[in-house]
Amino acid sequence: MTDALGWRRKFGVLAPSTNTIVEPDFYRMAVPGVTSHFSRIHIRDQDLSNNAKMEALLIQIREEILHAIDRVKTAEVDYLVMGMSAETFWGGMEGNRQFVKRLEDYSGLKVASGAEACERALHLFKAKTVGVITPYQAIGDENVIKFFSDIGVEVKFIKGLKCPTAVSIAHVSEDELRAALIEVDAAGVDAIVQAGTNLSMLRLADEAERWLNKPVIAINAATWWYALRENDIHDRIEGCGRLLREF
């Protein structure tokens, strides 16, 4: 039987329990016949105040993520979408491939990851250098740099906002993000990437592409775009950046 609303695809989205941005962002980018169904990865300790705490949070995610898959699969979803990005960059390109394989082997479903979405987008734009904005501590930024280096893209400048908790990532204002965009753009990069699905960057990235005259890739837009295109869904969406508007 075909789902009454998700008659094209039902996406199961895996997101940290602390994340308040990725869900409304994905709903903002909804297209007819595609529904997103969120399963929360339980975060018991959301402290991100130093490198060790950030690694501890990722350990929590690795322990809880399979339970989140079990829950969302009861809705008989067709595809999984990662509603978090740090783990998808961890360990560089090889770490990403292993992470995705673990989830696909366990679930029997294909998985969209933020890191792979950025990889495809940067190759599409033929970007060789990037500036990056993240909410992470230094160790998170190091893994982001490693991933981009592994795929042949140079990170010329990275702005890590070092948010102290997982929830506080969503408190970063548009003014702070605009200042970060200007700072990383000064490095003379081909494109700008924003990591961290709990940073509210969707609308600002779309606007910034016009006044910076270059691709500004918000992780939530890239991940959603990748998930749609991997499922042969080519609807164009306005107001969420060039990826969804043009490609």
Q: pLDDT for 14-61, tens place per residue?
A: 999 999 999 999 999 999 999 999 999 999 999 999 999 999 999 999
Q: How confident is the model at residue 157 (pLDDT cuts 50, 70, 90)?
A: very high
pLDDT of residue 131: 98
pLDDT of residue 96: 97
Confidence check: pLDDT of 236 > 90: yes
Q: Taking residues 152-169, report their average pLDDT.
A: 98
Q: pLDDT for 63-78, tens place per residue?
A: 999 999 999 999 999 9
Break the chain into its structural domains and give their ranges. 9-115+221-240, 119-218
* Structural fold of domain 119-218: Rossmann fold (3.40.50)
Percentage of residues of the chain with pLDDT beyond 90: 100
Instruction: With 0.85 as the threshold, say if the pTM is over it.
Output: yes
CATH class of 9-115+221-240: alpha beta
pLDDT of residue 68: 98
Element at 176 (helix H, strand E): helix 174-185
Closest Cα to residue 58, out of 143, 118, 133, 151? 143
Q: pLDDT for 39-48, tens place per residue?
A: 999 999 999 9
pLDDT of residue 186: 95
pLDDT of residue 1: 78
Q: Taking residues 133-162, report their average pLDDT.
A: 98
